[in-house]
Amino acid sequence: MTDVQLAAAQNVVVTIAETGETYRCRTDESLLTGMYRLGKRGIPVGCRGGGCSVCKVQITAGAYAQMRPMSREYVSDDDLAQGRVLACCVRPLEEVTVAVIGKLNKCVTRSGT
């Protein structure tokens, strides 16, 4: 990422569809990095590199960009077409809404922190 891109990074709001919770995420950091700041106990610390799929989400609104490759073992063409991606591998370009799916769902949707 260039200095110009870093300087242009903004904070945007990410909404978790299941709970209505929101968190701020920079446009130069992954959705998963921002999600950690929610402070939810049990958010899995996976590989953070697109290779384990514990952070799979479905982006239901808003634009995003891919930051690093995602394993095709976990993200198929159909997944991509439906907005199902790995939160550690994508960054928001604007306000987005995400549905947490897979292993991440239980950690994010249970009550309490």
Applying CB under 6 A, which residues contact ligand FES? 46-48, 50-55, 86, 88
Identify the H or E element spanning 110.
none
Least CB distance to ligand FES at residue 55 (A): 4
Dihedral of CA 61/66/72/77: which sign?
positive
**Angstrom distance (rounded) from CA 108 to CA 4:** 34
For residues 48 and 91, which CB has a smaller minimum distance to ligand FES in the complex?
Answer: 48
DSSP state of 68: S
Least CB distance to ligand FES at residue 87 (A): 6
For residues 12 and 43, which CB has a smaller minimum distance to ligand FES in the complex?
Answer: 43
By beta carbon distance, the residue nearest ligand FES is 46
Please, which residues bridge with residue 84 across strands?
58
Least CB distance to ligand FES at residue 44 (A): 7
